C-alpha cells in the first residue's frame, strides 16, 4: 500500500511537468536567436549579446553579410520575433 501511495504521489508531481504553463511567456536563448539569424544564409556571426532596450531583453546579433557589410539583428528575447 505504501508503494502504491508513493507511486501516485510521484506520478502527480511529474504529470504537471508534461503540460506547458501558459502563464509564463515563451523565451528564446541567445544561442537560439543566433541560429535563427544564420539559418539558411551565408552570414557570418561576428558577435552576439543580450541587452536591455526600453525595459525589454533583446538579443543583438552582429553579422557579416555575404556582400561584406555588417548588419545588426535584434531579436526580442521573450517572443523570438525580429525587432525593428
pLDDT attached to residue 23: 46
pTM for the model stands at 0.65
pLDDT attached to residue 54: 92
- Our count of domains for the chain comes to 1
- Domain with 36 in it: 25-83
Per the CB < 8 A criterion, the answer to whether 77 and 28 are in contact is yes
Q: Which domain CATH number covers 57?
A: 3.10.450
* Residue 77: partners with Cβ closer than 8 Å, 6 or more residues away: 27, 28, 30, 33, 50, 56, 57, 58, 59
Mean pLDDT, consecutive 10-residue stretches, the chain (84 aa), reads 61 49 67 88 91 94 93 94 88
20 in a domain, yes or no?
no
Question: How far apart (Å, rounded) are the C-alpha atoms in residues 29 and 37?
Answer: 13
Question: How far apart (Å, rounded) are the C-alpha atoms in residues 45 and 9?
Answer: 48
pLDDT attached to residue 32: 92
Amino acid at each position: 500500500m505504501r508503494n502504491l501511495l508513493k507511486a501516485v504521489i510521484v506520478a502527480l508531481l511529474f504529470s504537471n511537468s508534461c503540460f506547458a504553463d501558459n502563464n509564463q511567456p515563451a523565451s528564446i536563448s541567445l544561442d537560439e536567436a543566433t541560429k535563427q539569424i544564420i539559418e539558411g544564409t551565408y552570414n557570418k556571426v561576428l558577435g552576439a549579446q543580450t541587452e536591455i532596450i526600453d525595459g525589454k531583453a533583446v538579443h543583438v546579433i552582429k553579422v557579416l553579410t555575404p556582400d561584406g557589410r555588417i548588419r545588426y539583428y535584434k531579436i526580442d528575447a521573450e517572443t523570438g520575433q525580429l525587432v525593428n
